[in-house]
């Protein structure tokens, strides 16, 4: 039996399957309002028949989290997590990383190079020695599965489509071959580098671009490669040809780059390495025309293209393959399946108004911060953040695309420093973002697609760590439940029979999955009287003032 299969068998089931009352009839077409099930929580109490996690029974018996912001102690579950008190040191290079877990690798294509078992094997590919020393400074001892197979493929200058689960080290799998093949920086003139940027990495969000930029800087330490995180400011600076001819690598979102292309402020004719990270997102309707324009502008005859993602539906894979020249396809683990390291569960919450009480109940029990909470819109993120602050949940933060650049950066920095215990966000943080310490993910609003589910929960369980993912579902989410249940089942967890008996949603229905309209406010019942409104405003402002003060102190230090 393979190690992977053995691990799958060792795992427990979804906590949910103790449900005896919830049944397939809940989600069948004619379920009328009058037949609807009891609320998951009424007046803060869970009916016994829906108390899947035995919260009610254990109330008062289990250790309560210390959620007092003044003591600044993080809540934690007893008997686990002795190292969970993350501090800034967690980001240190000296941190002892666990050895990467091995996963099954399947390849398709002609003349596939042998995978490597250690980074030192890369010497036979003439990998510059300082890159090896930077890898060892980053404390990466052995390559992960995706790295062991994809690095030699890219070093052989082959085109590649790589599908590997979230948190398995895809970033380094493409960065390392780029650095190796760039050899000397363009400014050194000791290589035939041509004129203009030679490597281009395209990602869906500014936050992810920023994260990859920082990863690049670590790997490039000690060399003078010019790496640019494309923004409005850097785009302006690069409108000067002599400045842009000194650039080795650009990391950008599609929109920003296409704007510069259309203004004639950048040329991509010298690009020899093009990477589309989060490839299925890059090839979806929102980005497709921009990606086409970028690919068409990368006209160098010797260009190498590589696409990476944790998920790649077959329609996107076909588009990807059509873009490539004699590509190799690599699949690590089971395609479109999260790693069993992430313990997944589903929680029934009847309707939208029952979600907040359920979440507050969740935080009344011991939990493992940092926790990432996904909501479907910016307004709901803001509203939920306010509700959690009002309910005195400690160290809550928010991040969504409606915030200013500075607010987003501050929020991310607090998360990285371990100051945020709970981050409420939207799909913007769903892909690629790497916070090693995230212990739990809560899908407060149901994911918008199977891919969105896999990427969202993949913010935990990274680099061999364990994680937990909880997904709230309401009656409204019922038609889509089976799609998510199938993913959970495929990851090796059990799913209640009644969910498996639900009808499979049609393709049309699945497209509706992300389109459920939810109210902007998460607590509709709140009667905002004058006193309440003032209290709410003061608490939110107080929280902002505290954060501003902390930042002010930090900048002084
Ligand atoms: N060889 C290695 N050994 C140990 N840790 C590693 C290794 N390579 C990468 N990591 C760490 O693993 C974590 C996840 O890496 P990365 O963000 O590249 O994952 P990913 O596969 O791109 O995930 P996602 O699909 O979510 O974008 C990072 O914190 C990174 O530092």
pLDDT band at residue 67 using 50, 70 and 90 as cut-offs: very low
C-alpha of residue 480 to centroid of ligand 1, in Å: 30
User: Given pLDDT bands bounded at 50, 70 and 90, which one contains residue 83?
Assistant: very low
Residue nearest to atom 16 of ligand 1 (CA): 169
DSSP code at position 142: S
Per-residue pLDDT, averaged over 176-195, amounts to: 76
Instruction: Quote the pLDDT of residue 487.
Output: 95
Residue nearest to atom 1 of ligand 1 (CA): 143
The strand pairing partners of 423, in sequence order, are 372, 397
Atom of ligand 1 nearest to the CA of 168: 21
Question: What is the spatial distance between Cα 233 and Cα 307, in angstroms, rounded to a whole number?
Answer: 27
Nearest to 265 by CA among 295, 236, 245: 236
Q: What is the pLDDT of residues 440-485, one digit of tens each?
A: 999 999 999 999 999 999 999 999 899 999 999 999 999 999 999 9
As a whole number, mean pLDDT of residues 180-191 equals: 71
Cβ(295)–Cβ(222) under 8 Å?
Answer: no
Choose which residue among 145, 463, 465, 467 to substitute to test ligand 1 binding: the one with the highest number of ligand atoms within 8 A of its C-beta.
463
CA distances from 19 to 23, 363, 499 (A): 9, 22, 11
Which atom of ligand 1 lies at the shortest distance from residue 277's CA? 27
Cα separations in angstroms, 309 against 18, 170, 209, 274, 297: 35, 8, 15, 14, 23
Return mean pLDDT, the chain: 81
Look at residue 302 in the predicted model and tell me its pLDDT.
93
Q: Report domain extents, the chain.
A: 105-332, 342-513
Lowest mean pLDDT among 38-42, 165-169, 230-234, 394-398: 38-42
User: Residue 207: its pLDDT value, please?
Assistant: 92
| Cα–Cα dist 372/386, whole Å | 15
Query: 216 C-alpha to center of ligand 1: Å?
Result: 13
Residue 533 pLDDT > 80: no
- Mean pLDDT check: name the lowest of 52-56, 83-87, 94-98, 502-506: 52-56
User: How far, in Å, from the CA of 425 to the mean position of ligand 1?
Assistant: 22
- pTM to 2 decimals? 0.79
Higher pLDDT: 498 or 58? It is 498
Q: What is the per-residue pLDDT for 243?
A: 85
Distance between Cα 121 and ligand 1 center (Å): 20
Query: 228: helix, coil or strand?
Result: strand
Cα gap 294→482, rounded to integer Å: 37
Say how many Å lie between the CA of residue 150 and the centre of ligand 1.
Answer: 14
Name every residue whose Cβ is closer than 8 Å to that of residue 226 and which is 6 or more positions away in sequence. 185, 186, 187, 246, 247, 248, 249
Residue 100 CA to ligand 1 center (angstroms) comes to 10
Residue 50 above 70 pLDDT?
no
Name the pLDDT band for 543 (thresholds 50, 70, 90). Answer: confident
Q: How far is the CA of 463 from the centre of ligand 1 (A)?
A: 6
Identify which of 91, 336, 434 to mutate to test ligand 1's pocket (most ligand atoms within 8 A of the CB).
434
Nearest residue (CA) to ligand 1, atom 30: 169
Angle, vertex CA 477, rays to CA 361 and CA 39, nearest 5: 40
Q: What are phi and psi of 482, to 5 degrees?
A: -65, -35
Same fold, 105-332 and 342-513: yes
- 84 has pLDDT over 70: no
CATH of 342-513, one of 3.40.50.720, 1.10.3720.10, 3.20.110.20, 3.40.50.300: 3.40.50.300
**Burial of 43 by CB count in 10 Å (0-12 exposed, 13-18 middle, 19+ buried)?**
exposed
State pLDDT tens for residues 8-27.
322 222 333 223 223 333 33
Q: 145 forms bridges with which residues in the sheet?
A: none
pLDDT of residue 13: 29
Q: How confident is the model at residue 353 (pLDDT cuts 50, 70, 90)?
A: very high
Give the binding-site residues of ligand 1, using a 6 Å CB cut-off.
Answer: 97, 100, 140, 143-144, 147, 164, 166-172, 310, 432, 434, 436, 458, 462-463
105-332, superfamily in CATH? P-loop containing nucleotide triphosphate hydrolases (3.40.50.300)
Range scoring the smallest mean pLDDT among 26-35, 106-115, 323-332, 539-548: 26-35
Distance CA 139, CA 98 (A): 10
Other Cβ atoms closer than 10 A to 325: 9
Comparing 25 with 222, which gets the higher pLDDT? 222
What is the pLDDT confidence band of residue 187, given thresholds at 50, 70 and 90? low
Collapse the DSSP code of 138 into the 3-class scheme (helix H, G, I; strand E, B; otherwise coil) and give the result: coil
Mean pLDDT (whole number) for 424-430: 96
* pLDDT on residue 511: 77
Span 341-364, mean pLDDT? 95
Instruction: Return the residue whose CA atom lies nearest to atom 13 of ligand 1.
Output: 463
Backbone angles phi, psi at 136, to 5 degrees: -70, -30
Q: What spacing in Å lies between the alpha carbon of 450 and ligand 1's midpoint?
A: 22
User: Are 493 and 13 a contacting pair, CB within 8 Å?
Assistant: yes
pLDDT band at 377 (very low <50, low <70, confident <90, very high): very high
Mutate to test the pocket of ligand 1, among 136, 167, 251, 342 (most ligand atoms within 8 A of CB): 167
Please state, in angstroms and rounded to a whole number, the distance separating the CA atoms of residues 2 and 6. Answer: 6
């Amino acid at each position: 039996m393979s190690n992977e299969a053995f691990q799958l068998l060792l795992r427990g089931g979804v906590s949910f399957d103790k449900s005896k009352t919830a049944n397939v009839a809940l989600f069948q077409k004619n379920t009328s309002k009058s037949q609807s099930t009891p609320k998951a929580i009424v007046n803060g109490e869970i009916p016994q028949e829906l108390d899947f996690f035995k919260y009610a029974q254990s109330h008062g018996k289990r250790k309560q989290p210390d959620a007092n912001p003044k003591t600044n102690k993080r809540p934690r579950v007893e008997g686990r997590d002795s190292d969970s008190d993350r501090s800034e040191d967690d980001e240190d290079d000296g941190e002892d990383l666990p050895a990467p877990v091995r996963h099954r690798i399947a390849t398709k294509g002609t003349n596939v190079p042998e995978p490597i078992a250690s980074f030192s094997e890369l010497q036979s590919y003439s990998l510059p020695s300082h890159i090896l020393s930077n890898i060892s400074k980053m404390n990466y001892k052995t390559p992960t599965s995706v790295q062991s197979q994809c690095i030699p493929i890219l070093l052989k200058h082959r085109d590649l489509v790589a599908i590997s689960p979230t948190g398995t080290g895809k970033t380094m799998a493409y960065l390392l071959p780029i650095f190796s093949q760039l050899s000397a920086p363009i400014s050194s003139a000791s290589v035939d580098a041509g004129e203009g940027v030679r490597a281009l990495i395209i990602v869906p969000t500014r936050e992810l671009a920023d994260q990859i930029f920082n990863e690049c800087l670590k790997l490039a330490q000690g060399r003078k490669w010019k790496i640019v995180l494309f923004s409005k400011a850097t785009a302006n600076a690069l409108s000067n040809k002599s400045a842009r001819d000194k650039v080795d690598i650009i990391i950008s979102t599609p929109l920003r780059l296409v704007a510069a292309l259309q203004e004639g402020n950048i040329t991509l004719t010298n690009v020899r390495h093009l990477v589309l990270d989060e490839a299925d997102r890059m090839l979806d309707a929102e980005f497709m025309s921009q990606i086409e324009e970028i690919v068409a502008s990368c006209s160098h005859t010797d260009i190498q293209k590589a696409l990476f993602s944790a998920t790649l539906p077959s329609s996107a894979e076909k588009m990807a393959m059509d873009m490539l020249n004699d590509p190799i396809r690599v699949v690590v683990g089971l395609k479109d399946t999260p790693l069993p390291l992430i313990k997944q569960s589903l929680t029934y919450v009847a309707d939208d108004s029952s979600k907040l009480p359920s979440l507050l109940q969740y935080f009344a029990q011991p939990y493992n911060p940092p926790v990432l909470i996904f909501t479907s819109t910016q307004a709901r993120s803001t509203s939920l953040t306010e509700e959690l602050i009002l309910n005195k949940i400690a160290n809550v933060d928010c991040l969504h695309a409606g915030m200013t650049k500075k607010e987003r950066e501050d929020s991310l920095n607090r998360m990285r420093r371990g100051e945020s215990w709970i981050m409420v966000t939207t799909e913007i943080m769903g892909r690629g973002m790497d916070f090693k310490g995230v212990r739990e993910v809560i899908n407060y609003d149901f994911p918008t697609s199977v891919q969105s589910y896999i990427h969202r929960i993949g913010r935990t369980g990274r680099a061999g760590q364990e994680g937990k993912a909880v997904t709230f579902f309401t009656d409204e989410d019922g038609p889509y439940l089976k799609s998510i249940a199938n993913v959970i089942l495929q990851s090796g967890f059990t799913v209640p029979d009644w969910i498996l008996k639900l009808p499979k949603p049609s393709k049309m229905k699945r497209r509706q999955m992300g389109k459920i309209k939810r109210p902007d406010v998460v607590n509709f019942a709140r009667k905002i009287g004058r006193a309440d409104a003032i209290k709410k405003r003061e608490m939110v402002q107080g929280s902002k003032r505290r954060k501003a003060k902390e930042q002010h102190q930090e900048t002084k230090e």
